[in-house]
Amino acid sequence: MIPAAFEYERAESPDHAIELLGRFGDEAKLLAGGHSLLPLMKLRLARPTALVDIGRVSELSYVREDGDTIAIGALTRHHDVHHDPLLMQHCPIVAHVAGMVGDPQVRHRGTIGGSVAHADPASDFLAVFLTLGAQMVVRGPSGERTVDAANFFKGLFESDLAVDEVLLEIRVPKTGAGWSYQKFHRRSVDWAVVGVAALASRSNGNVDWRIALTNMSDRPLRATAMEEALSSGSDPATAAAEVSRDTSPPSDHFASGQYRREVAKVIARRAVEEALAR
């Protein structure tokens, strides 16, 4: 299908993009890789009056050390995140998950910031960033601010970004924790029917768990009941029975909510076992 008519402007910098968003108002959308927005526009599920193209703002494409964190520019392509040596060394779960996004064509065009700003609860990165306690750096007319991942994702396709703000970068911690991301989907290029991210941080013989879920609500969720069960000494299979507590998984043409709950138990156990083995 053909999208509805819209105006088009190419931004030369983040500040220029902010200026253009302010000019066009709350019906404008940012365009980066376009793999989420353009299909919605073709189906007339999204009808922005204007697109502000930031895809050529090269200053937002990078991966670099920043103290105890790794800063990832919002326009860094999934392919580059997947192959980045800093991430592979200091935060390998992010590099690994970038290689699970779509197919090579999508990974060469899609951007990590686009995935985050789109706030699709089926996106793999959202649960991973929630598990890591990542921070999002945002700039608008009033300057920059930093938002924790736990506060950034507000609901279905809804983030903490204001209509005139731009996501600049994602900051993830350097971590030596055991990790895993398990994803159940019908085909390798599909969105996750269910996904589970797990981090196991060892200290003085104890394991601190952080587990988050993909596509088990309208936003990524921490599996706190399962974390508590593991911390209390439950084995992975027993703890995984608690993974769906306080979730509200959707029912759609891919799977029912009850099916998602049952699948989550299986892949949560696998995620915990893999994280312990690393």
Domain extents in the chain? 7-53, 58-173, 184-277
Sign of the alpha-carbon torsion through 221, 212, 262, 200: negative
CATH architecture, domain defined by 7-53 = 2-Layer Sandwich (3.30)
Strands 50-53 and 28-31, by their bridges, are parallel
The helix, strand and coil proportions of the chain, stated in percent and rounded to the nearest 5, come to: 35, 25, 35
pLDDT-derived band at 43, boundaries 50, 70, 90: confident
CATH class (in words) of the domain with range 184-277? alpha beta
pLDDT at 40: 83
pLDDT of residue 275: 97
pLDDT in the model for residue 33:
81
Q: How confident is the model at residue 21 (pLDDT cuts 50, 70, 90)?
A: very high
CATH class, domain 58-173, is: alpha beta
Q: What's the predicted TM-score (pTM) here?
A: 0.94
Q: Quick check: 27 and 48 in contact, CB under 8 A?
A: yes
Q: Reply yes or no on whether the pLDDT at 37 is more than 90.
A: no
pLDDT at 204: 83
Q: Does the pLDDT at position 188 exceed 80?
A: no
**Residue 162 to residue 21: CA distance in whole angstroms:** 10
Measured CA to CA, the distance from residue 239 to residue 213 in angstroms comes to: 15
Whole-number pLDDT of residue 102: 87
224 band by pLDDT with thresholds 50, 70 and 90? very high
Confidence of residue 38 (pLDDT cuts 50, 70, 90): confident
Is residue 260 over pLDDT 90? yes
Neighbours of 103 (CB within 10 A): 10
Residue 132: its pLDDT value, please? 98
- What mean pLDDT value characterizes the chain? 94
Rounded average pLDDT over 234-240:
97
pLDDT tens digits, 126-136: 999 999 999 99
Write down the pLDDT at residue 222: 97
pLDDT at residue 92 is higher than 90: yes
Whether residue 62 contacts residue 76, with contact meaning beta carbons closer than 8 Å, is answered with: yes
CA-based torsion, 37, 40, 44, 45: positive or negative: negative
pLDDT reading at 272 higher than 90: yes
Confidence class for position 189, pLDDT limits 50, 70, 90: confident
